[in-house]
C-alpha cells in the first residue's frame, strides 16, 4: 500500500462534521479501494469547545486555518469554512502555494476568485477540486469535467437552490402565500434567519457562475449573471400558472447565443408535465445539453451534511488516485473571456399578470401597447377580482393574465413600462419568462 494520504479539515460545521462521519463509517473500505490509508492530520474550527456529535479529541488541533494549510504533513487541505474573503481565501492560497491539493465546498470563493486560485493550483501542479460547491451530492462538476468533456455544451440549467424550490413547492401544494411558507422554511432549518442570499437568487448565481465556466470554457464571471429572486412570486401567480399548465421554478440558466453567453437566475414557468417541474422540495437538479451526448438531467439532494460530505470525499478520492486536471478543465490561460449576451434580446414567451383598474378602455389600451411593440398575445384571461365580483364600474382591480407568443425582452419591457405610465394598472406588472425545455 502507498504512503497514507493525510488531510487537514478547516471548518467543522454541517459539512465538516458530515465528512468526519463519512470517514469514520467508510474510511477503512475507501483506503482499501484506493490502496492508500486516509489519515486526518489536523482539524480547525472557530470553537474548539463546541459540542459535536463526533469526538475530535484525538485529532491534531490547529487554532489557525492558514497554519493548517501550510502544515508540512498535510497532503490535502479541505476548506469548509465558507466566505469569499478573509481566512478562507488566505488559507486556500497558502495551501496551493505550499503545493497542497485543495478540496473546497466554497462556491462564493470560487465564483469571485476562481480564476486566480485555479492559476495558482496549475502553477504548483496540484488539484483544486470543488464538486461540493454546486448542487451538494449531485456529481455535476465531475460530469462536466470528465463525462461530457468531449461535448460542446449548448445550455446548462437547473434548480440550484433547495430553499427556493421548497418555498415554491409548498406554495403550489398548499396554496399559501410566500411569507407564510418562508417562515415555515426557516422553522425547519431550510432557510436562514436572514434568507436574502437564498431567496434573492444570489446563492444560485454563484453556482451558475461555476457551471457556466466549466460548460463554455470561459473565465468565471459572477457579475455577468442576471439575478431575480422569488420574493415577488404570489399565490396568484402560482394559481394562474397551474391553470395554464405550468409550474413556477427558480432556475439558473446559462446558454450560448449569437451575441455571447446568456446567464441568468430567475423564476420561470416550465410545463407542468416536464421532468424539471416534478423536482419538489429541497431537491436540486441540473440539466445539460451536449451536442453529442444530447440532453442529460441529474437530480438529487442539493445540500445537507451527508450529501455534501459525499461530494467532498469524492474529490479527496480523485486526488488519492493521482493525476491532475485543471480546475476548470481548460487551463486558465486558455479560458476565454465571458462575453455577456444582451438580455434585452432574449427570445421567448412571457407570462404577464396585471392588476387592471376599473375604467373604460383599459384592456383595449393594454392590448394596443403590446401591439405597438410587436408583442403578439397567445392568450388573455380576465380573472375575477378578489371580491369575487366581475369587472364592472367601481369594482376593485381585476387580475388579467397574458401569455405572449415568443418575443424579445426589450419589447415586453417597453410595453409594460407604457402600460404602467398609462395608469391602467394598480400595481407593478408581474413578468415571468416561460422557459423552453
Q: What are phi and psi of 381, to 5 degrees?
A: -120, 120
Catalytic residues: 207
**CA–CA gap between residue 95 and residue 10 (Å, rounded):** 12
**CA–CA gap between residue 25 and residue 6 (Å, rounded):** 17
Q: At CA 144, angle to CA 93 and CA 278, rounded to 5?
A: 115
| Cα-Cα-Cα-Cα dihedral sign, residues 31, 36, 42, 46 | negative
Q: DSSP 3-state helix, strand, coil percentages of the chain (rounded to 5)?
A: 40, 25, 35
DSSP string, 332-348: GGGPBP--B--GGG-EE
Looking up cell 411558507, which residue turns up?
A: 181
Q: Which residues contact 342 (CB under 8 A, 6 or more apart)?
A: 259, 260
Looking up cell 490535502, which residue turns up?
A: 76
CB-based burial label for 329 (10 Å; 0-12, 13-18, 19+)? middle
Q: Which residues contact 320 (CB under 8 A, 6 or more apart)?
A: 5, 34, 36, 38
| Cα-Cα-Cα-Cα dihedral sign, residues 89, 91, 94, 99 | negative
User: Between β-strands 36-44 and 76-79, what pairing exists: parallel, antiparallel or unpaired?
Assistant: unpaired
The answer to whether 271 and 277 have CB atoms below 8 angstroms apart is yes
**CA–CA gap between residue 191 and residue 199 (Å, rounded):** 9
DSSP string, 260-324: EEEEEEEEEEEETTSTGGG--TTEEEEEEEETTTEEEEEEEE-SSHHHHHHHHHHHHHHHHH---
Query: Angle of helix 362-372 relative to helix 409-422, nearest 10 degrees?
Result: 150
Q: What are phi and psi of 55, to 5 degrees?
A: -70, 140
Q: Which residues contact 58 (CB under 8 A, 6 or more apart)?
A: none
CA-wise closest residue to 124 among 103, 94, 145, 79: 94
Amino acid at each position: 500500500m502507498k504512503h497514507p494520504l493525510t488531510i487537514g479539515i478547516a471548518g467543522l460545521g454541517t459539512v465538516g462534521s458530515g465528512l468526519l462521519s463519512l470517514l469514520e463509517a467508510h474510511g477503512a473500505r475507501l483506503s482499501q479501494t484506493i490502496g492508500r490509508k486516509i489519515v486526518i492530520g489536523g482539524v480547525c474550527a472557530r470553537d474548539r469547545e463546541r459540542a459535536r456529535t463526533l469526538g475530535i479529541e484525538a485529532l491534531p488541533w490547529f487554532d489557525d486555518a492558514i497554519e493548517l494549510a501550510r502544515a508540512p504533513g498535510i497532503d490535502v487541505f479541505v476548506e469548509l469554512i465558507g466566505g469569499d474573503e478573509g481566512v478562507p481565501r488566505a488559507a486556500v492560497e497558502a495551501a496551493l502555494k505550499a503545493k497542497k491539493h485543495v478540496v473546497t465546498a466554497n462556491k462564493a470563493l470560487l465564483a469571485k476568485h476562481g480564476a486566480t486560485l485555479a492559476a495558482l493550483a496549475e502553477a504548483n501542479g496540484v488539484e483544486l477540486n470543488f464538486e461540493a460547491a454546486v448542487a451538494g451530492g449531485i456529481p455535476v462538476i465531475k460530469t462536466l469535467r470528465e463525462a461530457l468533456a468531449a461535448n460542446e455544451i449548448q445550455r446548462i440549467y437547473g434548480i440550484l437552490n433547495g430553499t427556493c424550490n421548497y418555498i415554491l413547492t409548498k406554495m403550489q401544494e398548499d396554496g399559501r402565500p410566500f411569507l407564510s411558507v418562508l417562515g415555515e422554511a426557516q422553522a425547519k432549518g431550510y432557510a436562514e434567519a436572514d434568507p436574502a442570499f437564498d431567496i434573492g437568487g444570489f446563492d444560485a448565481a454563484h453556482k451558475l457562475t461555476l457551471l457556466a465556466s466549466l460548460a463554455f470554457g470561459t473565465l468565471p464571471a459572477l457579475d455577468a449573471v442576471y439575478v431575480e429572486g422569488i420574493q415577488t412570486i404570489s399565490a396568484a401567480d402560482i394559481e394562474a400558472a397551474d391553470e395554464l399548465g405550468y409550474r413556477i421554478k427558480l432556475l439558473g440558466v446559462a446558454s450560448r447565443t449569437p451575441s455571447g453567453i446568456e446567464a441568468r437566475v430567475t423564476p420561470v414557468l416550465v410545463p407542468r408535465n416536464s421532468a424539471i417541474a416534478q423536482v419538489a422540495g429541497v431537491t436540486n437538479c441540473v440539466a445539460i445539453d451536449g451536442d453529442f451526448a444530447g440532453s442529460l438531467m441529474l437530480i438529487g439532494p442539493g445540500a445537507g451534511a451527508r450529501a455534501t460530505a459525499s461530494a467532498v470525499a469524492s474529490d479527496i478520492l480523485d486526488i488519492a488516485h493521482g493525476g491532475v486536471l485543471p480546475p476548470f478543465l481548460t487551463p486558465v490561460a486558455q479560458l476565454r473571456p465571458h462575453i455577456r449576451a444582451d438580455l434585452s434580446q432574449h427570445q421567448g414567451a412571457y407570462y404577464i399578470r396585471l392588476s387592471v383598474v376599473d375604467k373604460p378602455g383599459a384592456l383595449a389600451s393594454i392590448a394596443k401597447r403590446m401591439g405597438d411593440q410587436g408583442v403578439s398575445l397567445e392568450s388573455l384571461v380576465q380573472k375575477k377580482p378578489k371580491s369575487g365580483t366581475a369587472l364592472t364600474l367601481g369594482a376593485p382591480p381585476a387580475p388579467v393574465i397574458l401569455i405572449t407568443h415568443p418575443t424579445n425582452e426589450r419589447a415586453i419591457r417597453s410595453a409594460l413600462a407604457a402600460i404602467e405610465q398609462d395608469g391602467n394598472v394598480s400595481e407593478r406588472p408581474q413578468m415571468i419568462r416561460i422557459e423552453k425545455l
